[in-house]
Amino acid sequence: MKTIAALAALTVIPLVQDKADKPKKEPAPPITLSGCVAKSSGTPTEYTLMDETGSPMYRLSGMNVRNYVGKRVELVGLEPDSKKVKIKIGLLPNATVAGQRGSMDPAQAATAAAGGSAPVGDVQLPEFRVRSVKPLDGGCEK
């Protein structure tokens, strides 16, 4: 009986040591972006970062940037881990193309199925988690 207990103890100790020896994942370094803060067209509490041409680049989260709407800023933060599973539901390429399957021009249907020439509808911007905001000189295009 003592031999079985000793063998069990010897097999448990290496398992515990293996878990402790694993190196910890280092956090990603912060990213610095500059652009103009604008209200998102989706909801009144969402904000986006626009580039110099007025095109949206990121959906902002983390800090509240409402006081910087229409102003040029420098943001420091992180892009959330993009390795998470993202599930999209609905008809693909979209409900309009799926509903017109037989009556649509084949070239238009192929373009829509391949993603089209430009995004249509609700486009999900990549998220940027803001940690700090610094106002910059200069205005924003309207």
Of residues 70 and 139, which shows the higher confidence score? Answer: 70
pLDDT tops 90 at residue 131: yes
Reported confidence tier of residue 94, pLDDT bands at 50, 70, 90: low
Residue 77 near residue 130 (C-beta atoms within 8 A): yes
- pTM for this structure? 0.55
Neighbouring CB atoms inside 10 A of 29's CB total 7
Of residues 86 and 135, which shows the higher confidence score? Answer: 135
Reported confidence tier of residue 73, pLDDT bands at 50, 70, 90: very high
Domains (range + CATH), the chain:
24-82+89-135 (2.40.50)
